[in-house]
Amino acid sequence: MPNEVLIIIVVVVAILLLIAIWFIATMNSLRQNEVKVNEAESGIDVALTKRFDTLSKMVDTVKGYTKHEAKTFENVVKWRKGMPDDLTLEQKQEFMQKLNQVQADINVAVERYPDLKAEKVFTNLQKTIADVEEHLQASRRLFNANVSRLNQKIVSFPTSIVAAKIGMGKKPFFEAELEKRADVKMEF
Amino acid sequence: MAEELSLHQGKKKQSELIAIVGLLTVVIGILTLIFLGDTNDTMATVGIVILVVGIIVFIVGLIKFNLTVKKFKKTFLKDYFSKIIEEGSYFPKRYVSPQAVYGSGFLKRADRFKGKDYLSGKIDGIEFESSDIHLQERQVYTDSKGHRKTKYVTYFKGRIFKFDFHKPIEHRLQVLEKYRPRDGYKYKKVELESIDFNKKFKTYATDAHTAFYVLTPHFMEALMKIEQNHPGKLGFSFMEEKMYFAINNNKSTFPIYPFVKIDERLVDTFKEDVEMLYELVDDLKLNKRIFKED
């Protein structure tokens, strides 16, 4: 009789131990995936900052030609301090959207003032911005790929149990085109 | 061009005829030996003489054939490629250096290295070099009688291309179909967004961002198109402003076979191989120099 009890205890302990090991392994895997998502997000930050810097330089060049239209670029002047720290993902998307607008304005200016195309500094900046764009897209895609992988794990059973226990929820994607969101206000 | 081609074709046909005559003479010699040489010593001697003469004539035909092919490649093809490719150079006996082949990062070192049909030049301003490559590894085995024997087993027979790649990358990237990185760098497997692409290719990069930077959706689509149009085992690698493309398809690129006419149709098939280079450069947008400072 005591032998049987001992066997049951050993089996129960072994099962609990296996569950604990699985729980820890799954939790670590989720955490590692989360770290990858965060790393990818910092990649977006770097690319956004570089895009902001390059666009600022382009604006400086363009402004010489478009003094009477300075209003178009006044938004950028407000952002002299660069990309604010501790932005949420949604705010970063909003920031990117604003940079898109600046870039569109620059393109319009280039169309109006063809002499700009002859400026060596400006053409070099155009090349740089094209490369920065590529890096930003790559960062965004890498981020979304990592988020997708993490989200798939979070919603899959039985990993979903561990995710719920450690309070990990689905992460949002970084969208290329942001819909107008009235609730987000950006102050630079 | 047609006149020059018919001149080469005439010589090739002549060599083929000599080889056929030699082969027929060999057959006559063997038949003489079998049916007449058995009972008659003189006929046996005649049979042997016919056989030997047949073999010699056949060998002469083969040598003449090889010389004709060699001359066709060295004169006509060399001139032809220099005309249709900017700065085009063609050397039938040369090949891409082993250093460049292993520089691709996914082809293992061979015990026996052979190559031919070296072609280089510029496509839309993009420098390239390519050649057929035949890589073999030595295998030692023991036969049924317990003797140790050596054989060479082919693990790559196809073509390798090396292109300029003007997207500045500091890391290394390999997109492989049934290969794996072999250059000693610390690669990580990268899963891209396209499920079809991930099924077809395995992507390895020393930095995940580089994989997404180089493999844009358009670029992935272009690689898939190349894969569909070129049966074989494909491998692409990107490093130090170079793109390597290897295709293991057990084929020669510019073969001249016996009894296949040297004519404009044959030259057109070679031209298609060059057009494939243009397609490759265009599809992969290697000619877009937007990332490079002037």
Domain limits, chain B = 1-83, 85-291
Nearest Cα residue to B129 out of B81, B169, B168, B176: B81
- Mark A115-153 as b/e (b = at least 16 C-beta within 10 Å): ebeebeebeebbebbebbebbbbbbbbbbbbbbeebbeb
Tell me, yes or no, whether A141 lies in a domain.
yes
Q: Which residue of A has its CA nearest to B294?
A: A124
B109 touches chain A (CB under 8 A): no
Higher per-residue pLDDT: A90 or B25: B25
Mutate one of A141, A149, A151, A174 to test the B interface: name it (highest B CB count within 10 A): A141
Q: State the count of interchain CB pairs (< 8 A) between A and B.
A: 40
Q: Average pLDDT in the B176-198 region?
A: 91
A81 touches chain B (CB under 8 A): no
Indicate yes or no: CB of B209 within 8 angstroms of CB of A137.
no
Q: Which residue of A has its CA nearest to B166?
A: A131
Q: Is the pLDDT of residue A55 over 90?
A: no
Q: Which residue of B has its CA nearest to A141?
A: B212
Q: Is the pLDDT of residue B293 over 70?
A: no
What pLDDT shows up at residue B275?
86
B213 touches chain A (CB under 8 A): yes
What pLDDT shows up at residue A77?
55
User: Percent of chain B scored above 90 by pLDDT?
Assistant: 59
List chain B residues with CB under 8 Å of A131.
168, 290-291
Indicate yes or no: CB of A142 within 8 angstroms of CB of B290.
no
Indicate yes or no: CB of A130 within 8 angstroms of CB of B193.
no
Question: What's the pLDDT band for A178 if we cut at 50, 70, 90?
Answer: low
Q: Which residue has tokens 């363009």?
A: A62
Indicate yes or no: CB of B216 within 8 angstroms of CB of A134.
yes
Contact B238, B215 (CB under 8 A): no
Interface of A with B in 114-143 (CB under 8 A): 124, 127, 130-131, 134-135, 137-139, 141-142
Query: What tens digit of pLDDT does each residue of A67-121 get?
Result: 655 555 565 555 556 666 777 888 888 888 888 888 888 888 777 777 777 777 7
List chain A residues with CB under 8 Å of B216.
134, 137-138
Tell me, yes or no, whether A186 lies in a domain.
no
Mean pLDDT in chain B?
90
A43 touches chain B (CB under 8 A): yes
Give the distance, in angstroms, between the CA of residue A12 and the centroid of all CA atoms in the same chain.
Answer: 45
Tell me, yes or no, whether A17 lies in a domain.
yes
Indicate yes or no: CB of A145 within 8 angstroms of CB of B192.
yes
Measure B96 CA to nearest chain A CA, in Å.
32
Mean pLDDT in chain A?
81
Measure A108 CA to nearest chain B CA, in Å.
20
Mutate one of A126, A134, A173, A174 to test the B interface: name it (highest B CB count within 10 A): A134
What pLDDT shows up at residue A73?
59
Question: What's the pLDDT band for A42 if we cut at 50, 70, 90?
Answer: confident
What pLDDT shows up at residue B4?
84
Amino acid letter for position A187: E
What pLDDT shows up at residue A66?
66
Q: Which residues contact B182 (CB under 8 A, 6 or more apart)?
A: B105, B106, B107, B108
Query: What tens digit of pLDDT does each residue of B75-94 get?
Result: 999 999 999 999 999 999 99
B218 touches chain A (CB under 8 A): no
Query: What tens digit of pLDDT does each residue of A134-160 get?
Result: 888 899 999 999 999 899 999 999 999
What CATH number should be reported for the domain holding residue A149?
1.20.1440.20
What pLDDT shows up at residue B185?
92
Q: Is the pLDDT of residue A52 over 70?
A: yes
Tell me, yes or no, whether A150 lies in a domain.
yes
Question: What's the pLDDT band for B272 if we cut at 50, 70, 90?
Answer: confident
Q: Is the pLDDT of residue B203 over 90?
A: yes
Q: What angle do CA B33, B36, B38 make, to 5 degrees?
A: 75
Q: Is the pLDDT of residue A19 over 70?
A: yes
Q: Is the pLDDT of residue B253 over 70?
A: yes
Domain count, chain A: 1
Candidate from A124, A142, A149 with C-beta closest to B209: A142
- Could you list the residue range(s) of the whole structural domain that residue A73 is in? 2-165
